[in-house]
Structure 1
């Protein structure tokens, strides 16, 4: 999640340099409820000591309303087709949703 937020901040800075000011918070869709709960929870637990710095970084960006982390079901996570092995049906559906086409398909 921290890496994703860093990428969003980089894109935001790039867009600002090009003269485009985002009107809303930038969204990082997440299918991990536990990660979202840890980012929102103000109480530090023993099992999250190794993510303390990341958690504070994420919390700061959420509080400043630079980034929002809406929940998306795993089935709706379009990026999975780029990072995981998925069945051909899900692969085809994800490519359609991403607007990608098969250049080898007959016309």
Structure 2
């Protein structure tokens, strides 16, 4: 989670259940991300900095974003019904939004999977991480 361009929290968690598709796995991750955003929103409000617009949760899976914005329950989304209702409630209240971001620009990927050298170095720079052992 970034606040004002600064990384304030990061979390990676192994899912407890096996997902039927990558969209389902991403959707479950989105639900956990929304919970984290709600916590951060309450914290900011307690500090006197309540957000005035929806908080962005960037997602690189268009199928998961489509499920979030589809108000109709389909048979293929029945297994994520609780997450769907939770996310729809927050979308309808305009607390969160899910802008699409290309995978190569997804900063969290550098911390969770193998990426190319250029994406790795670019992500480290965006995260403000520096090699303290690099020659000056």
TM-score by length of 2: 0.75
Stretches (4+) displaced over 3 A: none
Alignment of structure 1 residues 14-93 onto 2, 5 Å: 14-93=43-122
Alignment length (residue pairs): 107
Q: Distance in 1 between matches of 2:49 and 2:59?
A: 25
The one-character-per-residue Cα deviations of 1:29-59 (angstroms, maximum 9, x if unpaired) are 0011111111111111111111111111101
Q: Secondary structure at the match of 1:11?
A: helix
Q: CA deviation at 1:23?
A: 2.2
Bigger shift: 85-94 or 60-69?
Answer: 85-94
The one-character-per-residue Cα deviations of 1:48-106 (angstroms, maximum 9, x if unpaired) are 11111111110110111110110001111111001111222221111012221111111
Bigger shift: 52-61 or 86-95?
Answer: 86-95
Gaps of 5+ in 1: none
Q: Distance in 2 between matches of 1:43 and 1:23?
A: 28
Answer 1 or 2: higher relative contact order, Cα 8 Å, separation at least 6: 1
User: If each structure's helix is expressed as a fraction of its own residues, which one has the higher value?
Assistant: 1
